[in-house]
A and B are shown apart, each in its own frame.
Chain A
Amino acid sequence: MKTTAFYRNLFCRADWNIQTILEADDVISQIAKDYLGLDTYPNQFEIVSSEQMLDAYSLVGLPISYHHWKFGKDFVINQNNYKKGRMGLAYELVINSNPCISYNMEDNSTCLTLLVLAHASYGHNHFFKNNYLFKQWTNADSIVDYLLFARKYIAKCEEKYGYQEVELVLDACHALMNYGVDKYKKPKSISPKEERERFKQKVEDERVLLNDIWRTLPNQKDDNSYLRKFPQQPEENILYFIEKHSPVLKEWQREIVRIVRKIAQYFYPQGQTKVINEGCATFSHYEIIQQLYEREFVDEGFMMEFLHHHSNVIYQPAFDSNHYSGINPYALGFAIFSDIKRMSLAPTSEDLQWFPEIAGKGNWKNDFINIVENYKDETFVMQFLSPKVIRDFRLFDIEDLQEKDFYTISNIHNEQGYKAIRTNLALNYNRSKYVPEIQVYQVAVMGDRTLTLDYTSTDNRTILKEKAEKVLEYVHFLWGFPVRLIADEDMGNIISEVK
């Protein structure tokens, strides 16, 4: 049995090696599991240099990827920023896979390495394994294999058809990447056998329910427009639609569309869980390191350094600060989870009124696990942003109406404003705030095969024409026939068109 002094000696010095990580993991995994109740994938902890971190950045966190200039561009931009000191590198980067891969920078101190271990390998890892969006939309077991397949497949296509040909398809697909995701599960397609059964049932039903009155009614006017409309329901997954229905794509091109679509789907949950995911990881590392200290595995010096890093991570500059760039998801997520713990253990009368299910019940660990499992940013903020957090952040609400030439402060952090601020902030995390809602509306099956996309306008916002046209050119390439973008199902309201 190793003594606490042994660990303290190991953790409280500047240098570390693989042994340090293994020992730290022994302690941290136990706290994560037994104290916080985290349930994680096995961990793979990788030590990388800053250059390798930049590589990882430009692949947006994919461990492997096919070759494309877009990644080169991201790399060059990151490299420029990094070299000029405009951008620091993150301490860590974590990949939703099984085993869960975390990158730790080689020049992190021992304290930071432990923080990364707790934050990424336990906090994020637990989130990936348990959050409902990730469970529903990603498959951590197979992602690395799939990426490997994708890379090989695309390399093979490049060899066979020339990389310019492949690049054309990839460019077009990347432009539609935001529209390559299913937001709702599709019903499973039925087999021919089931189809036959269903048809039999239908005939039988007609026989049993035969009612002569219906037959004697005069013929209703044939409504052909209904028959002709294709697809019958609008299709939100444009890449899926193109893959299945494009009249011009060759088989290998369809497969590439599919690859991009699959990768887009893999990233889909990440965009919607920034606050809650970072909140989960930050709250976890804070609790775990706090436990390390309480159990005397680390000393005061370690804690001083830890608190310094921790407060950097959750720093929220005010709106008028030069450092301000929106609400810091680490700060907000951590504040909400911390406040849940506070309310659970030491509630005020306000808390009892706002959160009767949580306040004073003392179940904060269960609450934490439960929230992490079942919420995304929008619903998380909507449900759990407490008046205290609103006050601490001094949140206020600026109303910006298009037709007015002035802004109005519509709510501030007071009794009258809490609910509105909470709702409005939650709505700002809705995907449609940053990705316009555009669906496949119809294809002129009987005509010139024009593909019509439809923008459902939200908040009275309009689509940027110049960019839409460029995207439509890509759609046109994939579809092979005219494409147009309309707004609000109004065939006369054409935003852009490529013939």
Chain B
Amino acid sequence: MSIQVVDRRNNPKGKSSENRQRLLKRLENQIQKALPDIIKNTNVKDISGSGEQVKIPVKGVGEPQFSYQPGTGNHHHIQPGNKEFSTGDTFKKPPKGSGGSGNGQQGSNDPSNSEDDFFVSVSRDEFLDFFFADLELPDMVKKHLNTIVDFKQKRAGYSNQGTPNRLNIVRSYQNSMSRRMAGTLYFDKEIEKLKTRFEKERLSEEEKELIQKEIDRLQKMKNAMSFMEETDLRYNNFEQYPVPITSAVMFCIMDVSGSMGEKEKDIAKRFFMLLYLFLTKQYERIEIVFIRHHTEAKEVSEFEFFNSKESGGTVVAPALELMRKIIQERYATNWNIYSAQVSDGDVWNKTDAEDCGKLMLNELLPKIQYANYIEVCRNTPSDLWDVYQNVKSKRNNFEIGKIHEVSQIWSVFQDFYKKKTTAL
């Protein structure tokens, strides 16, 4: 008898990875649905920060089969390990729905014990893909058509000029070979002719010598053909082609005044964290300007924005004023400008709110692609809300929304950045 031993250990890994991808595709909907929960329960920063895997709970991916209704029918259960039972003993059945495993035989077909619930772990990148699928910054096209800023190189055949590091050896050798073949053909023919004459014809010694000389001369010329000449050389050619890049800037304006409690700040931070993740994940080039404000507005670093504890009273208009100034200084032309503002809507007085409205309506919105405003944890509309509502009715690139609970962040976020079907 023969046996063949095969060592499979060095075979490529991940035989199941394709099947796993299929599963993730299939679970797309479920994962999308699980997102609000994940945002609520995990610190968004954790998702972005560590390279760890994200666990997503999955509810049964149905593989239905015809099956029996549990608890129906007559059975004989044969069990091992009898200790004290004798024939005729009786036992009360556990009440229905209790899922009690009276004698162990119900556990497996108990419907509540659905084996289908499980976790899939996806890598951070996979997760963020799910997270931000179907979201985009609206109207991004508007300005990038005329903002051709970057160039990329692509291959474009061969050229006969170039630097030595781009020399294409194969091409050059090909040319050299064909040149040499073409060039030596004439000499070969002539030499051949002379040689036949030399052998076949009756010639005088003198003539022979002359012919021999001629042959030698031709041979010498043939050998003088150089191996490689300047004209043979070919270089890889590259062409620059313009890449339209989308230059965009996002203004994040967060209210950190004293009226913003822990909960309000938490919601605001989570919203911005999500926004930050979204922007950095989906757009290669985007600038983000962070502005915090209480009585005064300040442009701060990312770290400060998310972590600083500074606080004070509330005046909103200076933040918008600061934004206007920054736009004028840095992003005056050729920029797609976006802004997101979060506040509890608590303003110092009505004029402040009205100032904001005016700034927004007259100064900012004409310059920017899209802005939104979120009011957190407020039941009665604030002055700011009223003013902004008025602004919204006049401009269509302005949205306002309210968030009361952490769990609402995702849906509001989605509403703001949902991909609009672009009419082509």
Contact = CB atoms under 8 A, between A and B. Distances in A.
B11 interface: yes
B74 A401 contact: yes
Contact of A321 (B77, B81, B93, B108): B81
B108 A68 contact: no
B24 to A, nearest CB: 8
A22 B3 contact: yes
B90 interface: yes
Contacts of B3: 21-22, 25, 29, 42-45, 121
A396 interface: yes
B66 A467 contact: yes
A327 B77 CA distance: 11
Interface string A386-407: 0000000111111111101111
B157 interface: no
B87 A409 contact: yes
Given A52-B8, A75-B20, A427 B104 contact: no
Contacts of A400: 74-77, 93, 105
A463 B82 contact: no
Q: Which bracket fits the contact residues of A? A: 35 or more
Interface in B232-247: none
B65 A42 contact: no
A51 B16 CA distance: 10
Contacts of A12: none
Contact of A76 (B1, B2, B23, B69): B23
A69 B61 contact: yes
Nearest to B70: A464
B93 A405 contact: yes
B196 to A, nearest CB: 63
B63 interface: yes
A461 B70 CA distance: 9
Contacts of A316: 80-81
B6 interface: yes
A412 B68 contact: no
A317 interface: yes
A320 interface: yes
Contact of B103 (A52, A58, A398, A424): A398
A69 B25 contact: yes
A29 B70 CA distance: 47
Contact of A461 (B68, B81, B82): B68
Interface stretch (A141-149, A280-288, A304-312, A413-421): A413-421
Contact of B68 (A48, A70, A163, A463): A463
Contact of A72 (B2, B4, B16, B81): B16
A352 interface: no
Contact of A52 (B11, B67, B68, B71): B11
A462 B67 contact: no
Contacts of A372: none
Interface string B54-94: 00000001111111111111111111111101111111110
Nearest to B79: A319
A147 B118 CA distance: 29
B1 A21 contact: no
Contacts of A106: 9
A70 B72 CA distance: 29
A25 B1 contact: yes
B362 interface: no
Interface string B1-36: 111111111010101101111111110000000000
Given A52-B15, A67-B22, A396-B82, A47 B9 contact: yes
A474 B19 CA distance: 21
B118 A77 contact: yes
Interface string A52-75: 101100100000000111111101
A413 B68 CA distance: 30
Contacts of B66: 178-179, 435-436, 438, 455, 463-464, 467-468, 471
A49 interface: yes
Contact of A46 (B6, B90, B102, B120): B6
A1 B30 CA distance: 65
Given A46-B6, A318-B81, A321-B81, A397 B76 contact: yes
A178 B66 CA distance: 9
A336 to B, nearest CB: 14
Nearest to A408: B90
B1 A40 contact: yes
A400 B21 CA distance: 45
Nearest to A175: B64
A395 B78 contact: yes
B283 interface: no
B23 A69 contact: yes
Contacts of B83: 318, 320, 394
A460 interface: yes
Contacts of A490: none
Given A67-B19, A460-B74, A406 B6 contact: no
B73 A436 contact: no
- A interface: dominant SS: mixed
B119 interface: yes
Contact of A406 (B21, B72, B93): B93
B91 A407 contact: yes
B104 A410 contact: no
A174 B63 contact: yes
A462 B89 contact: no
Residue in A44, A47, A73, A326 whose Cβ sees the most chain B Cβ within 10 Å? A73
Given A467-B66, A470-B62, A44 B77 contact: no
B23 A73 contact: yes
Given A400-B76, A417-B87, A72 B21 contact: yes
Nearest to B81: A318
Nearest to A18: B5
Residue in B74, B78, B79 whose Cβ sees the most chain A Cβ within 10 Å? B78
A163 B63 CA distance: 18
Nearest to B26: A69
A467 B78 contact: no
Contacts of B90: 406-409
Given A406-B91, A413-B82, A463-B69, A76 B20 contact: yes
A421 B3 CA distance: 43
B5 A428 contact: no
Nearest to B27: A69
Residue in B63, B80, B93, B119 whose Cβ sees the most chain A Cβ within 10 Å? B80
A405 B11 contact: no
A428 B104 contact: no
B92 to A, nearest CB: 5
A459 interface: yes
Interface string A316-341: 11111100111100000000000000
B107 to A, nearest CB: 8
Given A76-B118, A398-B103, A462-B73, A412 B80 contact: no
A393 B8 contact: no
B11 to A, nearest CB: 7
A374 interface: no
A99 interface: yes
Contacts of B120: 76
A325 B108 contact: yes
A425 interface: yes
Contact of B81 (A317, A401, A425): A317
Given A29-B1, A319-B79, A395-B78, A402 B62 contact: no
Residue in A22, A42, A396, A427 whose Cβ sees the most chain B Cβ within 10 Å? A396
Interface of A: 18, 21-22, 25, 29, 32-33, 40, 42-49, 51-52, 54-55, 58, 67-73, 75-77, 80, 99, 103, 106, 121, 163, 167, 174-175, 177-179, 316-321, 324-327, 393-402, 404-414, 416-417, 421, 424-425, 427-428, 435-436, 438, 455, 458-465, 467-468, 470-471, 474
16 contacts: A52-B8, A58-B16, A58-B19, A69-B25, A71-B16, A72-B19, A177-B65, A318-B80, A393-B81, A395-B79, A398-B78, A400-B77, A402-B73, A436-B67, A463-B68, A471-B64
Chain A to chain B: the 3 pairs with minimum beta-carbon distance, closest first: A318-B81, A461-B73, A72-B23
